A and B are shown apart, each in its own frame.
Chain A
Amino acid sequence: MKKTTKERQKVALLSRRKVVLAENLFREVVPSDVIVRENPRTVTHRHTYGGLSKFFLQLTARKLYGTKCRSTSCAHTGIWLPPRVHCPDCWEKMCWVEIDTSGAKVYTHSMTNLPGAGFMLSTPCPLISVEIPGVCTKFMSYLSKFGEGEPYIGMPVKPVFRTRRPTYTILDVSWVPNE
């Protein structure tokens, strides 16, 4: 029989963060017999752009790249922007092509006043969808310089790029009036 000891170890509560019980929810008082505990959270996700990395890298070089299917079995010839690595029709890898934005114009728009948490731009922020000749999709972005009455549908725009301290997000490209 194994010999036991009378001395026992203790299990302690470690690195205890300050406990907060919410007293109010949405500006109303929490009933006194209900416990609402605040569970704070800070986490870091490490997200890969995988085969799309080239798109985000090229933004920092002031270039807008899309992809195009060159498979002979595929009749579709439009450029995808946002790019996709694979063609959704034939599942072959597509080719990267630099986008000619000279005919770009605003397809639709909205002025964002009350964005969700985590929004990194100042408000009001004009969100736009951009129509580009030869591109089979509409590119969602924002107008980083705007005046009275802008944006409007059909407004000619050109891309500008955040090359100093890039965010490596879609916010590294935006559009300005093309006059």
Chain B
Amino acid sequence: MITFGDGNLRVPKLSRRVFLVGAGMTDFRKFYPAKQSSELCLEAMKMAVERLRISPHEFRQRVNYAVYPQFADHFGDQLLAEAKIHDYLGFDPIGNVGVKTGGATGGTGANTAIMAVASGYASCVPVVGWERMDEVDTRQGNAYIAGAACKDFESNLGWSYTTYYALMMRRYLEENHPNRETLAKIAQKNHGYARFSPFSQIPGDYTIEEILSAKVVSDPLTFPECCAMSVGATALIFCDEETAFHLTDHPVEVTGIGAGSHTLRTADRRNMPILLLPNETEETYKGRDLDWPGFTSFLAARFAARQAYLMAGIKDPVEELDLAETHDAFTVSDIQTYEDVGFRPYGRGAEFVESGDAYLGGRLPTNLSGGLIGSMHSVGATGLFQLAEIFWQVRGEWNEVHGDEKLWQKYGKIKPPVWQCLQVPDARRGMAISHAGTGSHVTSIILERR
């Protein structure tokens, strides 16, 4: 059992205010032979800077540190790729760092930039994340990803993360008895919202029957319940207060951050008492006799969310957040995360979907971006993509960006004639959860309009 000391449970604090001032991305595709990773990263960076209405020359003169999240050197087949990207963007000789924490690489990259600014080390930090997942076929891609499971005791058993999540799903169904359809509704929702994003890779208008009767990857997970494997990039710009207000009239403040971890092997998670969130008490779980975290919960997600909530002063996330982006790698991991981050108590994650809370118009719309299931999982970019979408939402710019016909044309797509604006009315505060492995690393970042 893990026991906590005061140092472990300390609430993180930023030494000075940190702001997100700009975001840009490419579209996301299964394969992208027309562009190299460096070209994609430049496009994403350029979009973020263009929207600040300053020139690349002016921007480059302000940069004093840079962060490059990329999940796996295996995929892009270029060690120290961050040096190539940094050079390609003309940032030399400014210091930079490559960041890797599996699926949470993007979130950790953002946290790294936030800490660099908060410490006073830097005042203007671009974070550019990408993944190039099309050099190998999908089976090999799955094997590369499963190389981020324990190679001695897990990888040979499937060479596929879908299998590792399927084990969790079977246990979740056994312990909590959600309707199987509720899990499929998460896939339906996220493929559905992806239809209104020019960036998305797998938009789709699925019926629940279609999702449940689709080909099974690893029982019980079907194809539409699993995330995309993508090529693409996202860029964010974090600044101190002075630089932020110089670059834009509407910077978005980072009001909470957190990071958690847990054993790479799901199997190694010893039972322990539930770590409580601000909206829970011992009474919440009185009489509960199930394992925790077991195979159905992520201690890392709970730990990260707890830190961010305490830092941001949030007690009830469903009431106090206006939108969220979760790491919906699989339908089951999404429902598990709702519970870990306190959208519902443990065992009741299905209610978050069935109540309508998770949808646009509900109390806490989640993954309006289309998420990993509908839009993208270009791993190093994913956590940044989530933050970019929240950034545009809390600035009231969702429609301006996603509804831009020229952007659809640029990506060779046609804007759907039946259009739905996914802007959350008067959105002010949002949270992004970035997640690795079967919960080996999780970050939580809360952005707030000022």
Which of A12-20, A91-99, A139-147 sits within the interface?
A139-147
Are A119 and B33 closer than 8 Å at their CB atoms?
A: no
Given A39-B77, A138-B267, A127-B139 contact (CB < 8 Å): no
Alpha-carbon separation in the docked complex, A114 to B217 (Å): 5
- Closest approach, in angstroms, between the C-beta of A106 and any C-beta of chain B? 10
Alpha-carbon separation in the docked complex, A152 to B154 (Å): 20
What is the count of residue pairs linking A and B with beta-carbon distances less than 8 angstroms? 141
Which of A2-10, A28-36, A156-164 sits within the interface?
A28-36
Q: Mark A110-142, 1 if CB is under 8 A from B, else 0.
A: 111111111110000101010000001111111
Residues of A contacting B267 in the complex (Cβ-Cβ under 8 angstroms): 82, 129, 137-140
Are B159 and A153 closer than 8 Å at their CB atoms?
A: no
Residues of A contacting B140 in the complex (Cβ-Cβ under 8 angstroms): 116-117
Are B159 and A36 closer than 8 Å at their CB atoms?
A: no
Residues of B contacting A171 in the complex (Cβ-Cβ under 8 angstroms): 156-157
Does B30 belong to the interface (CB within 8 Å)? yes
Are B159 and A117 closer than 8 Å at their CB atoms?
A: yes
Does B397 belong to the interface (CB within 8 Å)? no
Are B295 and A129 closer than 8 Å at their CB atoms?
A: yes
Residues of B contacting A49 in the complex (Cβ-Cβ under 8 angstroms): 152
Does B47 belong to the interface (CB within 8 Å)? no
- Total residues of chain A contacting the partner, CB 8 A: 43
Alpha-carbon separation in the docked complex, A107 to B1 (Å): 19
Alpha-carbon separation in the docked complex, A118 to B160 (Å): 10
- Closest approach, in angstroms, between the C-beta of A126 and any C-beta of chain B? 9
Are A114 and B33 closer than 8 Å at their CB atoms?
A: no
Q: Which of A76, A113, A116, A129 contacts B167 (CB 8 A)?
A: A129
Residues of A contacting B348 in the complex (Cβ-Cβ under 8 angstroms): none
Are A25 and B33 closer than 8 Å at their CB atoms?
A: yes
Does B401 belong to the interface (CB within 8 Å)? no
User: Within residues 68 to 101 of chain A, which ones have a CB less than 8 A from any CB in chain B?
Assistant: 76, 78, 80, 82
Given A114-B217, A116-B146, A170-B152, A107-B157 contact (CB < 8 Å): no
Does B242 belong to the interface (CB within 8 Å)? no
Given A25-B134, A26-B134, A129-B295, A116-B166 contact (CB < 8 Å): no
Alpha-carbon separation in the docked complex, A119 to B77 (Å): 22
Alpha-carbon separation in the docked complex, A67 to B332 (Å): 32
Residues of B contacting A52 in the complex (Cβ-Cβ under 8 angstroms): 152
- Closest approach, in angstroms, between the C-beta of B86 and any C-beta of chain A? 24
Are B268 and A115 closer than 8 Å at their CB atoms?
A: no
- Closest approach, in angstroms, between the C-beta of B300 and any C-beta of chain A? 16
Are A109 and B167 closer than 8 Å at their CB atoms?
A: yes
Are A127 and B163 closer than 8 Å at their CB atoms?
A: yes
- Closest approach, in angstroms, between the C-beta of A144 and any C-beta of chain B? 12
Q: Which of B34, B146, B218 contacts A113 (CB 8 A)?
A: B218
Does B142 belong to the interface (CB within 8 Å)? yes
Does A108 belong to the interface (CB within 8 Å)? yes
Are B156 and A110 closer than 8 Å at their CB atoms?
A: no
Can you name the residue of chain A whose Cβ is closest to the Cβ of B220? A110
Are B218 and A111 closer than 8 Å at their CB atoms?
A: yes
Alpha-carbon separation in the docked complex, A138 to B168 (Å): 12
- Closest approach, in angstroms, between the C-beta of B71 and any C-beta of chain A? 16
Given A112-B218, A115-B163, A116-B142, A140-B157 contact (CB < 8 Å): yes
Alpha-carbon separation in the docked complex, A125 to B145 (Å): 20
Residues of A contacting B215 in the complex (Cβ-Cβ under 8 angstroms): 113-114
- Closest approach, in angstroms, between the C-beta of A114 and any C-beta of chain B? 5
Alpha-carbon separation in the docked complex, A123 to B169 (Å): 20
Are B159 and A113 closer than 8 Å at their CB atoms?
A: no
Does B265 belong to the interface (CB within 8 Å)? yes
Does B312 belong to the interface (CB within 8 Å)? no
| Residues in B lying within 8 Å of A, measured CB to CB | 1, 30-31, 33-34, 77, 134, 137-143, 145-146, 150-154, 156-160, 162-163, 166-171, 174, 215-220, 265-271, 295
| Residues in A lying within 8 Å of B, measured CB to CB | 25-26, 28, 30-31, 34, 36, 39, 47, 49, 52, 76, 78, 80, 82, 107-120, 125, 127, 129, 136-142, 153, 169-171
16 A-B pairs whose Cβ atoms sit less than 8 Å apart in the complex: A26-B138, A34-B33, A34-B34, A47-B151, A52-B152, A110-B169, A114-B217, A115-B139, A116-B141, A119-B159, A129-B167, A136-B270, A137-B267, A137-B270, A170-B154, A171-B157
Q: Which 7 A-B pairs have the closest CB atoms?
A: A116-B159, A116-B142, A110-B166, A116-B143, A111-B219, A108-B171, A117-B143
